[in-house]
């Protein structure tokens, strides 16, 4: 095999670049794979394809070979490697060695010659598929893109069965200043999420500021390997927050929340404020535990979909408010398969995972209703759902008294 030395990085070079890009390759000698197989149990791609070569462990060993210069690090090799991971993070969550395979892939993609032009080219050609995400990236009109997500962005919006009646809330906000980060989909399309979230924040006694001109959280952009573009967006948001004198930021999308928290690890103009930033980020759903809360329509089954990016400390609110005490209410902790730019690279895999999701025993009831709090999960699950299942953000199932 002819090795193009200019495209092969030594382990040290990869580590140096990794530090600069804040994406840890985590291929250090003290963090070796111990073949425990835990990542094999949770990888959604392995579950639907049964191809061990697509497993996190196989990717790890390939990355190791690349780092050691044993493989040709060609652009096509990187694209192939990058094209078979959802970046769901499930493997990293369970790995006892702390290996982060998807983080390593992001780092490699970002350094692959021509990758940026390639991925932007695919995005432009596939506007219909990904245009909700592009709201934040290019600030394009919602008129672009056809009707695929009409149920989410206005026209043809179906009436969601109300499940939660919210009365007054304890005034935990004590008139502290707060602002909403609605995320791209809510801001430019699903306006009801924004309006209902704002109502809950105000009822909890926060002094809600006018929404500033937020940029995208940068999560999907960074997972696509466009790290510099993501950091530009994040710096914009940091500057905005600082200009508002550091209010609380309420977030209604799980993945936006993860993206905003991850900012603190990046090399932005922080001025030592990372911990204040992290402390200012609050999921809107966390306020439910302070509300007069009543479940509605309990005769119809309800699934609460846990996004891959939901952290335990945030997700626990659904148990605290007693949601799962109702016999027909179930938590679904299974990947939807959205996968960000995997939709552009290998769309058959996200589709396979979503169809497997709906065919699984947990979700076979096609009369049910599924709620979640991640924009990407909603798009993916709505697209491949059975005819009679309602898929929406939980905010769309709220009724106020
Ligand atoms: S990030 Fe998700 S899809 Fe990618 S290798 Fe890990 S578990 Fe599999
Ligand atoms: S979980 Fe980590 S240590 Fe275990 S097989 Fe997977 S990569 Fe290796």
Q: Which residue has the tokens 């996190």?
A: 56
Question: Would you state the pLDDT for residue 304?
Answer: 94
Write the residue with the smallest CA distance to atom 8 of ligand 2.
Answer: 33
Yes or no: say if 255 and 277 are a contact pair by the CB < 8 Å rule.
no
Ligand 2 residue neighbourhood (C-beta within 6 Å): 33-39, 56-57, 60, 94-97, 99
226 C-alpha to ligand 1 centroid (Å):
19
Query: Burial letters for 8-18: b for 16+ Cβ neighbours within 10 Å, e otherwise?
Result: bbebeebbebb
Write the residue with the smallest CA distance to atom 2 of ligand 2.
Answer: 95
Write the residue with the smallest CA distance to atom 4 of ligand 1.
Answer: 85
43 C-alpha to ligand 1 centroid (Å):
5
The Cα–Cα gap between 173 and 207 comes to 8
Write the residue with the smallest CA distance to atom 6 of ligand 2.
Answer: 39
The Cα–Cα gap between 387 and 366 comes to 7
Measured torsion, CA atoms of residues 45, 48, 49, 54, in degrees rounded to the nearest 10: 20
Yes or no: say if 214 and 286 are a contact pair by the CB < 8 Å rule.
no
Structure tokens at 217: 């959280």
Yes or no: say if 395 and 197 are a contact pair by the CB < 8 Å rule.
yes
The β-bridge partners of 304 are 331, 371
The β-bridge partners of 302 are 329, 369
Q: Which ligand is nearest to the CA of 60?
A: 2
**What domains appear along the chain, each with residue ranges and CATH number?**
5-113 (1.10.1060.10), 120-152 (no CATH), 164-286 (3.40.50), 296-400 (3.40.50)
39 C-alpha to ligand 2 centroid (Å):
6
3-state helix, strand, coil in the chain (%, to 5): 50, 10, 40
Question: Would you state the pLDDT for residue 120?
Answer: 62
Q: Does 55 contact ligand 1 (Cβ within 6 A)?
A: no
Question: Would you state the pLDDT for residue 326?
Answer: 77
295 C-alpha to ligand 1 centroid (Å):
35
Measured torsion, CA atoms of residues 84, 87, 93, 99, in degrees rounded to the nearest 10: 70
- DSSP alpha helices (H): ranges in 293-387? 312-320, 342-345, 348-359, 375-384
Other Cβ atoms closer than 10 A to 293: 16
Question: Would you state the pLDDT for residue 249?
Answer: 98
pLDDT digit string (tens) for the chain, length 401 residues: 332 333 333 333 333 444 333 334 445 555 788 999 999 999 999 999 999 888 999 888 877 777 766 655 565 665 676 568 888 999 999 999 989 888 888 877 777 666 666 666 665 555 445 544 544 433 333 333 333 344 444 333 467 889 999 999 999 999 999 999 998 777 766 778 889 999 999 999 999 999 999 988 988 888 877 888 889 999 999 999 999 999 999 999 999 999 999 999 999 999 999 999 999 999 999 999 999 989 998 888 899 999 999 999 999 999 999 888 877 888 999 999 988 778 777 889 999 999 999 888 666 555 688 999 998 898 888 888 876 788 889 999 999 99
The β-bridge partners of 281 are 249
Question: Would you state the pLDDT for residue 161?
Answer: 87
CA dist list (Å): 188 to 158, 225, 245: 18, 24, 25
Question: Would you state the pLDDT for residue 239?
Answer: 97
Question: Would you state the pLDDT for residue 148?
Answer: 38
Nearest-atom index, ligand 2, CA of 40 = 6
Q: Does 340 contact ligand 1 (Cβ within 6 A)?
A: no
94 C-alpha to ligand 2 centroid (Å):
8
The Cα–Cα gap between 208 and 191 comes to 17
Write the residue with the smallest CA distance to atom 2 of ligand 1.
Answer: 88
Nearest-atom index, ligand 2, CA of 101 = 7
Measured torsion, CA atoms of residues 378, 383, 385, 386, in degrees rounded to the nearest 10: 150
Burial of 198 (0-12, 13-18, 19+ CB in 10 A): buried
């Amino acid at each position: 095999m002819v090795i193009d030395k200019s495209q092969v990085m030594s382990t040290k070079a990869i580590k140096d670049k990794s530090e600069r890009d804040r994406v840890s390759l985590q291929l250090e000698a003290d963090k070796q794979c111990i073949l425990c197989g835990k990542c094999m149990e949770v990888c959604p791609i392995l579950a639907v394809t049964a191809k061990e070569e697509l497993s996190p462990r196989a990717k790890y060993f390939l990355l190791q070979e690349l780092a050691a210069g044993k493989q040709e690090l060609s652009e096509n090799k990187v694209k192939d490697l990058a094209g078979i991971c959802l970046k769901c993070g499930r493997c990293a969550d369970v790995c006892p060695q702390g290996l982060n395979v998807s983080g390593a892939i992001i780092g490699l993609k970002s350094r692959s010659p021509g990758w940026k032009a390639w991925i932007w080219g695919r995005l432009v050609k596939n506007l219909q598929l990904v245009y909700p995400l592009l709201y934040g990236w290019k600030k394009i009109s919602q008129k672009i893109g056809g009707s695929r997500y009409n149920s989410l962005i206005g026209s043809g919006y179906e009436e969601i069965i109300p499940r939660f009646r919210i009365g007054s809330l304890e005034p935990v906000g004590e008139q502290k200043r707060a602002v909403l980060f609605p995320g791209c989909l809510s801001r430019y399309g699903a306006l009801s999420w924004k309006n209902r979230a704002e109502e809950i924040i105000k009822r909890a006694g926060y002094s809600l500021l006018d929404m500033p001109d937020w940029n995208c959280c940068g999560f999907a952009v960074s997972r696509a390997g466009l790290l510099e573009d993501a950091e530009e967006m994040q710096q914009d948001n940091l500057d905005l927050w600082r200009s508002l004198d550091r209010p609380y930021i309420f977030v209604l999308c799980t993945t936006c929340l993860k993206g905003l928290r991850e900012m603190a690890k990046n090399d932005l103009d922080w001025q030592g404020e990372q911990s204040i930033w992290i402390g200012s980020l609050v999921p809107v759903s966390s306020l439910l535990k302070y509300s007069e809360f009543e479940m509605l329509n309990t005769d119809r089954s309800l699934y609460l979909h846990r996004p891959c990016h939901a952290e335990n400390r945030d997700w626990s609110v659904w148990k605290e408010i007693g949601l799962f005490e109702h016999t027909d209410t179930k938590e679904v902790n299974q990947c939807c398969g959205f996968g960000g730019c995997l939709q552009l690279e290998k769309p058959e895999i996200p589709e396979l995972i979503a169809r497997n999701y709906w065919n699984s025993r947990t979700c076979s009831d096609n009369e049910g209703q599924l709620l979640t709090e991640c924009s990407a999960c909603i798009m993916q699950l709505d697209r491949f759902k059975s005819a009679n299942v309602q898929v929406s953000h939980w905010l769309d199932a709220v009724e106020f008294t």
